[in-house]
Chains A and B, each alone.
Chain A
Amino acid sequence: MSIHTPPADWLKPPKGAERFWVGLALLWCLVMFVAMPYWYFYGKQNSTGESYRVTPGDFAQRVMQFVATNKVGEDKGVPIVEPAPGSDVYLQAQMWMWTPILKLRKGQTYRLHISSLDLQHGFSLQPINMNFQILPGYDHVLTLTPTSSGEFSIVCNEFCGIGHHLMTGRMIVVE
């Protein structure tokens, strides 16, 4: 009874079409639930949230070191770096730019450390369309393997003030 009180013995198991639907829906729910741990173990795209506490100052310093060691060029004042495959690479987000420009090799795995020097930012790699949250005080580590080559854009997709929509970066992947 939607607006009237129900009969005293209303607790009864479902029957007929309702019972069929509840069973089918439950089955689908369990399938969807199992899919996530399945993909965690067997799938190639995951967000484990691997991260460490860091101060923005320490992170910025590490980035400078990384750039000094691996710099191969520059574009519009932003250094281009080509790190060794399998190594730890660093990317810093700040209002309103991404530093440095990473030049990576297709099929190689890198440990990408991303952090912010000021506000929250959104790492959105286009046109691949991979998106991760970047927080100040957190070194967010992505174990990343580019599976396609070419020119890529980094767009910030977390509001970070009036220059938010100007915050773009570059990433290059060579064969």
Chain B
Amino acid sequence: MEPKDPDKKHALQRLMDNPWILLVLGVVIPTLSYTVWGWIELLMLPAAKLP
């Protein structure tokens, strides 16, 4: 790899070096995908017909 300008970090490296963004993503993504989606499934459950 050619030597880069030391201040110009790759975007991915900047992301991985930023614990705050990772903290937000690490809380938001599972909360939406597992918890909130799950709660919505429960809320939308229909009433029993008991045929």
Contact = CB atoms under 8 A, between A and B. Distances in A.
Contact of A54 (B10, B13, B16, B47): B47
B1 interface: yes
Contacts of A53: 45-48
B13 A11 contact: yes
A123 interface: no
Contacts of B9: 8, 11
Nearest to B50: A62
A132 B42 CA distance: 17
User: Looking at chain B, what size class is its interface with the partner chain?
Assistant: 10 to 19
Place the interface of chain A in its size category. 10 to 19
Contact of A139 (B4, B6, B13, B48): B48
Nearest to A51: B45
A59 interface: yes
Contact of B1 (A9, A59, A88): A9
A41 interface: no
A44 interface: no
A11 B6 CA distance: 13
A139 B50 CA distance: 9
A67 to B, nearest CB: 14
A58 interface: yes
Interface in A22-62: 51-54, 58-59, 62
Interface string B7-44: 00110110010000000000000000000000000000
A54 B50 contact: yes
Interface in A127-167: 138-139
Interface of B: 1, 4, 6, 9-10, 12-13, 16, 45-51
In the A-B complex, the 7 residue pairs with the closest CB atoms: A52-B48, A54-B48, A11-B13, A139-B48, A62-B50, A11-B10, A88-B51
8 contacts: A8-B9, A12-B1, A52-B45, A52-B49, A54-B47, A54-B48, A58-B50, A62-B50
Interface of A: 8-12, 51-54, 58-59, 62, 88, 113, 138-139
